[in-house]
Amino acid sequence: MKIIWTICALFSAVLCTMAQSQGWWMTEPISLIQTNLRETDSGLDAKKLVQEIKSFPANTVLFSVGGITAHYPTEVDLHFRSEYLPKGEDLVGTFIEEAHANDMRVIGRFDFSRARREVYNAHPEWFYKQTDGNPVFDSNDLYSICINGGYYHDKGIEILTEALEKYPVDGLFFNWFGNIRKDYFGRDIGLCHCDNCARKFMEEYNRSIPLEPDAEYEKFLFESAVQVAKKYRDLIHEKRPKALFMTYIEEYTDAIVSEADYYKWRSLPQWIYMGSEHVNRGLNTKPDKMVFDLVMPYQEMLYRFASTAGPGIRSFLYQNMAHGAFPAFVVLGTMDQPDKTALKAVRPIFQYYEKYGHEYVGQRSAARVILYARQDETWSRNSQDHRGFFRLLTELHIPFKITNRPQDFDPKKIDLIVVPEGKIPPALEDYIEAGGKVLLAGSTHPGMGLEPTVKLWENTTSSYMRIEDYTLFPSLKDTWATFWEGSYLELQVSPTPMTLIPPGQFGPPDKVDRLDEKTDKPGLVLKDIGEGKLAFLPWHIGQLYYRHSNDKHRLLIYDLINHLLDGGVQIKTNAHPSVEITFMHQPDQDRHLLHLTNLSGHSGTAFFDAIPMRNIDTGIMGDFQRVTSLDGTEILPSVYVDGYTHFVVPNLDEYEVLMLHER
């Protein structure tokens, strides 16, 4: 360690962070099963469970250790061992010993978000306090804990010290880290008004905790969680230098945890790219960390024993692998499930990964397009602008990486940056000046010398966009008006290939005659800036596509991107839009991996088996020596023409991966 830090003093901190973080989770093929144990599982047969997981087969287990319930004979005061733990036995110790003897890794799971009534009675100041002064407790008589209290800060350290000294864990994971403002039923519990929060917030912001969260409060809460994360990280790395620390936040962790699911309470339309989104964003915004995207089979928290359809669950596991992570699957309790369909559905992927997992290690996105990720809520699952563009790029087979790292904004490596909404981030201005292309949407003025705003139209329901220039939009040759609605930023007139047809074009049919009305209000602004180019759609096409999937909007974006890239898209293919294609690089092995995930089984809120596809013409930008199957035994005929290596993917059932070897 001392040598590394000396080198760090000499070279950049970034490189050194990378060098230090090459833990087992970055260099080994991981296939993970998470067993969320119940108290009643404390007496389980550890040897049997290890063998069941090993033969599934998985090589890493996320195993419950302590917090709400300790599955080992803890000696820490107010940390309660499970009543179902047989006297004289140590489930955690036995399980880890047995797993390690079978070459399996074990990541311990803790949950410090809740504690029993006895803990609350002893230390009410550790707990979440609602606006009315009452604690938050649930039907299981568990009380919610506040991130700023002594439980997370002191008791947690005491518990972890005991566990880390007793057990040679390969990592630790913390569930539900920080103050989450909803309970298990999804009910709002408001903000914590405990004395610790109140005092700390007053010291830092000189005011009381607000009733509703604002920017300062969000920052306060985020930093409160980060403080605890740093403490835990330091302790884990001190006691077990080779172990990883992971939770749902990105700061001070070695890996980022996310969950992919089809929970029934999520708003429609169903988001079928959740695994892709998590892994793509995680690995590209934090390239020195791994992403553990835990695939949840159950219908939701209220139905933990009822799983969703197998092909949908499998699709998340493929997405994890195709974006550079690995299969990770969650069961409540043991492998003995009342509904066996989910385990049965995902097992073939684990069997496949046992054979080929080593070929997946060290993947990095080779995409030449960036989907710009804002740090705030706009990237999240609630941002329709972001998700609309995510789908548009995916369905158009334009590989992209989600990131906001300025060091990635290099026009030599990145052909286009898509900003789904909002201002042009300052970091992108230099990129455009130096020759980069940016596609920006939304109703916020982007700056960068564009014409001034005339007016912000809040609601444009029953408007259209008139296509004026078909050389730019050849795919829209059979229409001259596309539907749109939502907010629109009218800029002063400039030459534009698309103009606004104002609101008012609906029934009764007798009166729908204003479509002929011509305006010069721009629907798209194209501007050369420095060596680069900005395309600004002053309306929310991402949101519209997320909700309505209008094909004219997809074609519009397709033509616009082709215009910006002079036709030089990275992949040319006739693959069906339901096939997700990712293009990954393995720099250490001088090769690329092309993944095709067949999501054609999705229909509405259902998942059926994917429809098999045959003979997919594919051209990849670049001159590759040969294209082979993953084990190298099958060589696909390929030809290099006009900058692209062309080949045919003969079969695509659910998932296929090909190797492209460099010359």
Name the minimum Å distance from CB 124 to Zn ion. Answer: 11
Q: Which is nearer to Zn ion, 201 or 271 (CB)?
A: 201
Nearer to Zn ion (CB atom), residue 146 or residue 537: 146
User: What's 193's DSSP letter?
Assistant: -
Residue 555 in the binding site for Zn ion (CB under 5 A): no
Euclidean distance between CA atoms 246 and 253, whole angstroms: 5
Strands 579-586 and 591-598: antiparallel
Stretch that binds Zn ion, among 116-124, 138-146, 341-349, 486-494 (CB under 5 A): 138-146
- Listed ranges 107-115, 139-147, 267-275, 496-504: which one lies at the site for Zn ion (CB under 5 A): 139-147
**Which pair of structure tokens corresponds to residue 25?**
């989770």
Q: Which of residues 230-289 bind Zn ion (CB under 5 A)?
A: none
Nearer to Zn ion, 191 or 283 (CB): 191
CA distances in angstroms from 587 to 26, 234, 327, 363, 640, listed in the order given: 14, 31, 22, 8, 22
Between residues 150 and 269, which has the closer beta carbon with respect to Zn ion? 150
Distance CA 172, CA 96 (A): 13
Task: Identify which of residues 150 and 502 has a Cβ nearer to Zn ion in the complex.
Answer: 150
Q: Specify the residue, 197 or 561, whose C-beta has the smaller distance to Zn ion.
A: 197
100/181 with CB nearer Zn ion: 181
Gap between the terminal Cα atoms of the chain: 38
Give the footprint of Zn ion on residues 341-380 (CB under 5 A).
none
Long-range pairs for 73-81 at CB < 8 Å and ≥24 separation?
A: 74/159, 74/162, 74/163, 75/162, 76/155, 76/158, 76/159, 76/162, 78/115, 78/118, 78/119, 78/122, 78/123, 78/155, 79/155, 79/158, 79/159, 80/116, 80/118, 81/42
Please, how many CA atoms are within 13 Å of residue 75, restricted to the half-sphere of its CB? 5
Rounded Cα gap, residues 378 and 487, in angstroms: 17
* Closest distance of CB 123 from Zn ion, Å: 13
Please tell me the distance from the alpha carbon of residue 138 to that of residue 651, in angstroms, as a whole number.
51
Residue 200 vs 237, nearer CB to Zn ion:
200
The stretch among 55-63, 194-202, 331-339, 648-656 that binds Zn ion (CB under 5 A) is 194-202
Q: Does 194 bind Zn ion (CB under 5 A)?
A: yes
Does 581 help bind Zn ion (rule: CB under 5 A)? no
Out of 197, 345, 418, 541, the residue judged to bind Zn ion by CB under 5 A: 197
Rounded CA separation 142/136 (Å): 8
Cβ distance to Zn ion smaller for residue 197 or 584: 197
Quote the least distance from Cβ 209 to Zn ion, whole Å: 8
Torsion sign, CA atoms 364, 596, 635, 574: negative
Considering only the stretches 131-139, 185-193, 327-335, 611-619, report the one whose residues sit in contact with Zn ion under the rule CB under 5 A: 185-193
Q: How far is CA 411 from CA 214, 419, 421, 548, 587, in A?
A: 37, 16, 21, 33, 20
For residues 196 and 600, which CB has a smaller minimum distance to Zn ion in the complex? Answer: 196
Q: Minimal distance in Å, beta carbon 144 to Zn ion?
A: 10
Q: Which is nearer to Zn ion, 193 or 233 (CB)?
A: 193
Nearest approach, Cβ of residue 102 and Zn ion (Å): 43
- We find the least distance from the C-beta atom of residue 204 to Zn ion, in angstroms, to be 13
Residue 192 within binding range of Zn ion, rule CB under 5 A:
yes
Residues in contact with 139: Cβ distance below 8 Å, sequence separation at least 6, in sequence order: none
Quick count: other Cβ atoms within 10 Å of Cβ 662?
14
Q: In sequence order, what are the residues at sequence separation of 6 or more whose Cβ sits closer than 8 angstroms to the Cβ of residue 388?
A: 420, 541, 542, 543, 544, 545, 546, 547
Binding mask 140-169 vs Zn ion (x if CB under 5 A, - otherwise)? ------x-x---------------------
Q: Is 228 in the site for Zn ion (CB under 5 A)?
A: no
Total residues contacting Zn ion by CB under 5 A comes to 5
Distance CA 635, CA 373 (A): 38
- Residues numbered 590 to 609 that lie near Zn ion (CB under 5 A) are none
Shortest Å, Cβ 190 to Zn ion: 11
Report the C-alpha gap between 326 and 352 in whole angstroms. Answer: 12
Shortest separation between residue 293's beta carbon and Zn ion, angstroms = 30
Query: What letter represents residue 395's amino acid?
Result: E
Chain residues binding Zn ion by CB under 5 A are 146, 148, 192, 194, 197
